[in-house]
Amino acid sequence: MKYSYIKPRHKSLLTKEIQMILAFFSITFFILFATYFFLLMKDYSYKKEMHQLHISRLGIAKNIDNMKVQIKFIEEKSLLAQKIYTKNTVLKDSIKNLFDLVPQRITLSEAKLLENGLILHGITPNKDVYNFMLQAPLRSIFQRTQSSFYPAANGWLRFVSRNYVDEALVLPEELKNEN
Amino acid sequence: MLLKFFESLYQKVFVSIISRENSIDVYIELYSRDDVVDYMRNNFPTSHINAEILGFIIKYTRETPFSYISVLDTSPFQGALPTCEANMLSFYHDGNQSQYMCHDEKWTSYTSKLDLADTKKRYESTGLDFIFSPFTLLANFFQEKIRDDFALFILIEDTSISLSVFDQSELLFAQYLCMKNNDEVNDLFLDDTLEVLDLEAEIYQIKETFFEDETENFHEDNQRFLLIQNSIKDFYKDEKYKSKFIENIYIADSVGISSRLRDSLEEEMFLTPFVMDIELGEEITKLARMELGL
C-alpha cells in the first residue's frame, strides 16, 4: 500500500458467471468422459466377447469339419452298407438260384462260395443226370467249370464241381474287403 | 502469471464516491489495456448510499471481477506530518488511535483508525477497496509545483479544506479543516464563548467586505477564508514547524469557489492565489490506478 489506508478486497476470477460456465463445462466434460469411458468399456467388452465368439466359432468350425468327416464316413458307410445289402441280396438271390438250380435227384453235401467261384460237393445217381441237370446251368453262369467224380458206397457217384468266373467279372476291391 | 494474463483480459472498473454535504457524486472509469475506455459520472441528491446509487455502481461493476471502489478520507482527525520517522511522529501528533502512512520517506499522512472503520461500515453495501488521504491527492495533483516551489497548497472540498505547505517536496505544515454548515455557523453566533465571538466579529467583518453579493456561497467562502487564515497563523506561530513567509497559494478547487475568496486572499493576506479546478472523481481514480501500479 503506497497511497491507500486500506488494502483492496480480494478479487477472484471466479465470478458467478465464471462459476456457472465452469460448472457447465465441468458437467459437459464429465458427461463426455463418462460416455467415452463407457464406450471404451463396451468396446473392450465387445472385443472380448468377439474374441470368445471367434474362439467358439473356430471350435464350431472344427466340430463342423469333424461332423463333415463323420458325415462323409457315415455316407460312405451307408453307401457301403447299401452295396453290401445289394450284394447280399444278389448273393441271396444267387444262393436261392443256386439251390433252385440243383435238381431233385442230386443231393448237395457241401457248397463253398468263393470270391470268384463256387465249389459244390454232392452225390448224383449218375454222370448224365449231373451233366444235363446241373453242369449245364453252371456252365451258363461260370466261365470255367471242372467236375470230378468218384463212386459212392451205394453205387451213386460223389462229385466235386469247381466253377470259376474270370477276374474281370470279380467284384470290386472294396466289396472284396467288405466281404 | 496465469492470473495476470486472465486479469489483463478483463476490463477494470474504478468507482470513486465523493460524499458532499447534501449529495453524493459517483465517478466511474472503465479501464482496459492501459487505457481509459469510458467514464461516466452522476450526482445523486442524497447523503446516504441508496438503492439508486447501488444500482448505478453495480451496473458497471458486475461486468468484471476487477472493480475497485475508492473514497477520500473524511475523518476530522486526519492530517499530515513533516516526517516519516516513527519516533518523531509523536512530536507533531499525539495519536495512538491513528493510522500512519509514509510518503516518499519525507512526510506522513495519518487518520483515525476508528473513523476508517466507520468509513468501511458506511460503504458496506458497495464495498470499499481504497481510502485515500486528501493530502495524498493534493500532493499528487500539485506534484510538479510541490517539487519545484515553496507554496501553500489547498484542496477545497464541499465540507473540508486540506491545507499543506510544501517547500520543494518537503512538507512543512499541514492541517485538515472541517467546515461547519450554515446552521452550525448560526448556532456559533449564539454561543457566548470568546472564541466564537471573535469568529463572529470576523465573519461580520468579512460579510461587510462582500456585502454586495449575498449569495449562498457567502457563508462557505467566509468560513474557508477564516479557516485558511487561522491555519496560516498557526503555521507562523507554532514553533514546531519551520515557518517561512508564504507568497503563493495553489488552490485545487472541487466546489467552484467565488472570486471573492481569491480576492480576499490576495488583498488581505498578500498571497498570490492560483486556482485550478479539480475533478475529485478523476483524481481519486488516478490514485487508485497508481496504487495498483497501472
The ipTM (two decimal places) reads 0.84
Chain position carrying cell 450526482: B43
Exposure string of B145-167, with b = 16+ CB inside 10 Å and e = fewer, is: bbeebbbbbbbbbbbbbbbbbbb
Name the grid cell of A94: 444267387
C-alpha of B164 from chain center: 11
- pLDDT for A61 equals 93
- Tell me what the mean pLDDT of segment A54-64 comes to: 93
pLDDT grade for B204, boundaries at 50, 70 and 90:
low
Same domain for A37 and A68, yes or no, is yes
> Do A159 and A134 reside in the same domain of the chain?
yes
Tens-digit pLDDT profile for residues A94-116: 788 778 888 888 898 998 988 88
Closest alpha carbon to B266 in B280, B242, B247: B247
Q: Quick check: B129 and A9 CB within 8 A?
A: yes
**Residue A20 covered by a domain:** no
Can you give the pTM of this predicted structure? 0.64
Rounded to the nearest 10 degrees, what angle do helices B217-237 and B194-209 cross at?
120
Q: Which residues of B touch A1 (CB under 8 A)?
A: 101, 291
Q: Is residue A4 one of the residues assigned to a domain?
A: no
Domain boundaries, chain B: 178-277
Interface with B, mutate which of A1, A2, A5 (most B CBs under 10 A): A5
Task: Indicate whether A127 belongs to any domain.
Answer: yes
Place of cell 467586505: B209
C-alpha–C-alpha distance, residues A14 and B3, integer Å:
11
Q: How many domains does chain A have?
A: 2
Minimum mean pLDDT range among B23-32, B163-172, B238-247: B238-247
Residues of B whose CB is below 8 A from A11: 65-66
Quick one: A144 and A113 in the same domain? yes
Higher pLDDT, B34 or B72: B72
Mean pLDDT of B269-276: 90
In a domain, A7, yes or no: no
pLDDT at B96 over 90: no
Domain annotation covers residue A23: no
Strand A107-113 to strand A117-124: parallel, antiparallel, or no bridges (unpaired)? antiparallel
Is B81's Cβ below 8 Å from some Cβ in A? no
| Residue A17 domain-assigned (yes or no) | no
Percent of the residues in chain B that have a pLDDT greater than 90, as a whole number: 50
The residue from A51, A82, A101 where one domain ends is: A101
CB–CB of B13/B31 below 8 Å? yes
Q: Are residues A128 and A144 part of one domain?
A: yes
- Which comes out higher in pLDDT, residue A69 or B206? A69
Based on the fold, state whether residues A61 and A118 are members of the same structural domain.
no
CB contact under 8 A, A13 and B292: no
CB proximity B194 to A under 8 Å: no
Cβ of residue A10 closer than 8 Å to a chain B Cβ: no
Whether residue A144 sits in one domain with residue A171: yes
- Parent domain of A159: 105-179
In Å, how far is A29's CA from the nearest CA of chain B?
A: 22
Instruction: Report the pLDDT value the prediction gives residue B198, as an integer from 0 to 100.
Output: 57
Q: Distance between alpha carbon B7 and the CA centroid of its chain, in Å?
A: 31
- Using an 8 Å Cβ cutoff, are B79 and B175 in contact? yes
Q: Is residue A2 part of a domain?
A: no
Closest CA in chain B for residue A19: B65
pLDDT band for position B194 (50/70/90)? very low
Contact between B65 and A12 under an 8 Å Cβ cutoff? The reply is: yes
**Which of A9-18, A20-29, A139-148, B202-211 ranks highest by mean pLDDT?**
A20-29
What string of DSSP letters covers B112-143?
EHHHHHHHHHHTTTT---EEE-HHHHHHHHTH
Q: Which of B65, B127, B291 faces A3 most closely, judged by CB atoms?
A: B291
Chain A interface includes B7 (CB < 8 A): yes
Phi (first) and psi of residue B151, to 5 degrees: -165, 170
In this structure, are A75 and A125 located in the same domain? no
Q: Chain B interface, mutation test: which of A1, A2, A3, A18, most B Cβ atoms within 10 Å?
A: A3
Contact B251, B227 (CB under 8 A): no
A11 in any annotated domain: no
Confidence of residue A84 (pLDDT cuts 50, 70, 90): confident
Buried b (16+ CB within 10 A) or exposed e, A131-153: eebbbebbeeebeebebeeeeee
